[in-house]
Structures are given as C-alpha cells and as structure tokens.
C-alpha cells in the first residue's frame, strides 16, 4: 500500500508491505505544488508496485484535482479519505463538512473506546481535540509557533525576528526571547489549561513540533508519530469490510 498525507507544509508518504510494515517513507516540503512533487516520486512508487493508494489531504479541491491527475498515470487505484462524523470507531459532534481530514485521521488513529483522550496535532496549525470514550467533543485550532512568529514579523515594524529557537516559557529580557517565549507559552499555556479542565484525559501529541511543546507541559504526554498513518490504515480497513 501507498499512504499519502498532503499537509499544508509537507507531503509525507509511507509504503507498507502486506503485513503493514513500513518499507519506505519520507516527508518533503511541497511549496504548494504537491502534484509536481508527486510526479518526481512516481518512479520510486512504481518500483514498490503498491496495489492501492490511500490519501489524506487538507489542500482543497483544486490541488486535490491536480494530485488525482498525477496519480491517474500510475494505474493504481487511489482514494481520498472523507471525514465521517458517524464512523463506527468514533462519533463526532464537529461539523464534518469542515473538520480537517488530518485532524480526524489523527484522532481515528488514537481513539480507544475505553479512554478519555486529548489529541494534539503540532503541524502548520496546532489542533487540540477532546475525545470521551470514542466520542469527539470538539476542539481548538491555533497557529503553530512558526506561523505566530511570521505574523509578528509581518504585522509589526520593530519585531524583525525570523529565526531562533523555542526553548523556554520564562519571561524574556530581549525582543528575541520575549517573542519566542511568548509564542511558546501561548501554546503550552493552552495545553495546560485544557488538561486542567480535563484532568482524566490522556494527553497525546503528534506532529513536527510535538517534542518542542511537550517539554513544557505540566502533565505526562504520550508522543506518537504514527497517528495519521494508523488512522489511514484503520479507515481503509473499515471501508473494505462489508
């Protein structure tokens, strides 16, 4: 199988064998040209001869159409995931016309009907979702630490910070520190507040910035990098059952 995750920043793929083991995977910045990037990967994909392609995309209809066009040339059946708020594995109270496919799949990949869970995706946006015994209660969307920094950079005259590390949530004494620490605190503070309101929810984090953020959270955090892939596998596994 070939699994694709078309996010706002990166395209990720995983090739798996018949027992679900990953035989190849990668993540690449697509710079809003995912179809062109895929074109360059087709040789690689053909070598593994997957029998099916399952796709998560948050890129919208126009880019998805271009991706479809590129994938059609491979002569391998492919299918985009559609969010289903009434899925057998997890019910959702969220507007399913709007809920991002990556968010939903991350939850589907984590959901456990015996648990209360808080699933946090740390990618281009940070998403925080609450699930109570396989019922999605809703959530929150924040700009990532990098998007927040870009918005300060572009919206102010005196803040010219465009690089530096996010490594502390103590007060800063320079613009550089105040910006990085303020931004990190905005996410960490929100996570701590949500976990304070929901003390018996297991906190699970995934995505590129999960390690940076989790370090400052005052509760044990389970880091998982396989949630979206696991969600894709669960989704198509259910789809293929009568």
Ligand X SMILES: CC(C)(CO)[C@@H](O)C(=O)NCCC(=O)O
Binds ligand ATP by CB under 6 A, chosen from 34, 100, 109, 207: 207
Min separation Cβ 9 and ligand ATP, Å: 3
Which is closer to ligand ATP, CB of 55 or CB of 134? 55
Work out what residue 92 binds among ligand X, ligand ATP, none; the CB cut-off runs from 5 to 8 Å by kind: none
Which is closer to ligand X, CB of 54 or CB of 207? 207
**Of residues 78, 10, 67, the one with CA closest to residue 35:** 67
- Is residue 124 marked as binding? yes
Which is closer to ligand ATP, CB of 29 or CB of 72? 29
CB 31 within 8 A of CB 44: no
The percent helix, strand, coil of the chain (3-state, each to 5) is 35, 25, 35
CB 148 within 8 A of CB 231: no
Residue 144 lies near ligand ATP (rule: CB under 6 A): yes
Residue 57 lies near ligand ATP (rule: CB under 6 A): no
Binds ligand ATP by CB under 6 A, chosen from 54, 109, 123, 231: 123
Binds ligand ATP by CB under 6 A, chosen from 124, 127, 195, 214: 124
Work out what residue 99 binds among ligand ATP, ligand X, none; the CB cut-off runs from 5 to 8 Å by kind: ligand X
The residues, ordered by sequence, that sit 6+ positions from 44 with a Cβ below 8 Å of its Cβ are 24
User: How many residues are present in the chain?
Assistant: 242
How many distinct helices (H) and strands (E) make up the chain?
Answer: 7, 11
Angle, vertex CA 18, rays to CA 14 and CA 22, nearest 5:
30
Give catalytic residue positions: 102
């Amino acid at each position: 199988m070939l699994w694709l995750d078309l996010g706002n920043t990166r395209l990720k793929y995983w090739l798996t064998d018949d027992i679900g083991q990953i035989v190849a995977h990668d993540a690449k910045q697509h710079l809003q040209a995912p179809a062109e990037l895929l074109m360059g990967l087709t040789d690689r994909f053909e070598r593994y001869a997957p029998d099916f392609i399952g796709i998560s995309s948050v890129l919208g209809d126009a880019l998805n159409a271009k991706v479809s066009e590129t994938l059609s040339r491979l002569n391998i059946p492919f299918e985009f995931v559609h969010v289903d708020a009434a899925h057998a594995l997890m019910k959702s109270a969220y507007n399913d016309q709007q809920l991002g496919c990556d968010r939903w799949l991350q939850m589907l990949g984590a959901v456990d009907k015996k648990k209360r869970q808080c699933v946090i995706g740390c990618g281009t946006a940070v998403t925080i979702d609450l699930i109570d015994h396989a019922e999605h209660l809703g959530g929150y969307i924040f700009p990532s630490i990098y998007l927040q920094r870009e918005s300060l950079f572009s919206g102010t005259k005196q803040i010219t910070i465009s690089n530096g590390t996010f490594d502390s949530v103590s007060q800063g004494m320079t613009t550089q520190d105040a910006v990085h620490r303020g931004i990190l605190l905005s996410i960490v503070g929100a996570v701590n507040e949500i976990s304070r309101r929901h003390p018996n929810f297991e906190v699970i984090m995934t995505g590129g910035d999960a390690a940076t953020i989790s370090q400052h959270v005052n509760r044990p955090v389970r880091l998982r990098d396989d949630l979206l892939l696991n969600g894709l596998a669960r989704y198509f596994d259910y789809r293929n059952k009568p």
